Structure 1
Amino acid sequence: MALTFATDPVSVRTPATSANLGPGFDALGLALTLYDDLTARVTPGGFTVSVIGEGAGELPSDEEHLVVRAMLATFDELGERPRGLAVECVNRIPQARGLGSSSAAIVGGVQLARGLVAGGTELIDDEAALRVAARLEGHPDNVAPCLLGGFTIAWTEGTGARAVRLPAHEDVHPKVFIPTERGYTASARAALPFEVPHADASFNAGRSALLTHALTADPSLLLPATADRLHQGYRAEAMPGTASLVASLRSVGVAAVVSGAGPTVLALSEVPADFHPGSEWRVESLGVDARGALVKGSMVELA
């Protein structure tokens, strides 16, 4: 059966995310109150993308743009592509800084496609949308909180990615330290060893479980709960400034971690007023986004 496409534009707001959160490598993620705003409409033909803000003048302006690629993958799941798309992006999430800019683009594309099709959110429910997004991203730790909001635990099984969303405690107040230089997930992963000591794996399993409790019920435990032995130490040589800032913050009792693959640093507990990271860091106090990627348009209203 042929799909019915919206004649009016559809918009989506996608939150930044921070993955890993210390010990929860490739599993834990948190949605943050920093957003990209995307709008798309169906056109008679061709694919165009305009970008304002982060990535303007750098990102593709055609079907190679990640938002369009995610939209087309979702339309393929639905069984039919429109002849053309016009996409507008107002980007505020820094590119390649460990704050989930690619996941925001992918989830935004999936949600736009769902919103542009009559019954799209029924044909592809949230669980299926997560699987599509995770296939495109390669792992679910960032796309899960971007799609669902809040604090998420994600995993992959035979049918693909799955996730559960938990509300973060009201006393969790994220702060991000964003450097000028960029980092890239592929190079950060290349620094990881193929094997780790059993004791380190056991350590991280315990701290990941503790972190779930700390983030949802007892933030006083965030400092020990965010300790990691699986990935941050191996990446430190490639990001010495990031590693130094994490160590400095933790030395004064702040639950600080590398955000995703870095180089941004995420603090999950209060930072002393007299702590000064240096002029090379842009500091932003954020909240935890509780709603995830919201779609608004003529065919759907997701609240």
Structure 2
Amino acid sequence: MVLTMKRKHPGCGNIVTFAQFLFIAVEGFLFEADFGRKRPAIPIRYYATMVTMFFTVSVVNNYALNLNIAMPLHMIFRSGSLIANMILGIVILKKRYSVFKYTSIALVSVGIFICTSMSAKQVTSQSSLSENDGFQAFMWWLLGIGALTFALLMSARMGIFQETLYKQFGKHSKEALFYNHALPLPGFIFLASDIYDHAVLFNKSELYQVPVAGVSVPIMWFYLLMNVVTQYVCIRGVFILTTECTSLTVTLVVTLRKFVSLLVSIWYFQNPFTRWHWLGTLFVFIGTLMYTEVWSSLGIARSQPRKEDKKD
């Protein structure tokens, strides 16, 4: 659904994010916070720090699509959260990993570099025949890469922050889901004009008769509703996973989901995807599989647990 929405209205990311946050916040207020009567197990000040990072990552990733960043590159680049998470885990948590995992990170890095380089050439060549316009498009693309890099590091830091909170205060996935979406809502005031403009555009979309219900609504609003419901199921599963696994494991699962979305977007948007892009994607995918050390189940890796993995 979100692919269809962004194809028709490329700048609709803010209204989509706002709708997702609002739905989850209302649901959590009714069923988790008990209309505000239930005290949080984790102090609000920690949630405030977490949601600041969460809100920033969401908005920056949305705006990157307006900076000459193609959807395939956007998805592949964000898969580098595995790299960022491992680097910050080493720096902040003093973790150490196996040779397999370090190798996987190298493969993922090479894959992202290849795809980024190829997309840079496409942006410059397709933007205009004018050298001046091509340079301007390339500079916007560089700004988009900078935005994605910032969001990548911020997202990894947030994952580590969540991991330490759950170790200190216990597992509270539903509570975290609610506060991570309720506290950022006032921040959407700064995006109100953009949200309103796209609401007007959604109202002007063609009518669609909803099955079973028998009512007709603008099709963009129907797409938005379906996206909100499916995103709720997805994000709730991710928050449950964060309480049961380390941030690196969560990042791995989310990365694999993004690759499925990547393949769908290439087919749906008919984006140019050269053999170099496929090679880069293959490196990222193989590196992700190596990170899980699936080879150990085949008897290739050592059966004994490694000391460096005990902290993972």
**TM-score under structure 2 normalisation?**
0.25
Larger fraction in helix: 2
Q: Which has the higher contact order (CA 8 A, sep 6+)?
A: 2
Return the index of the structure with the highest Cα Rg. 2
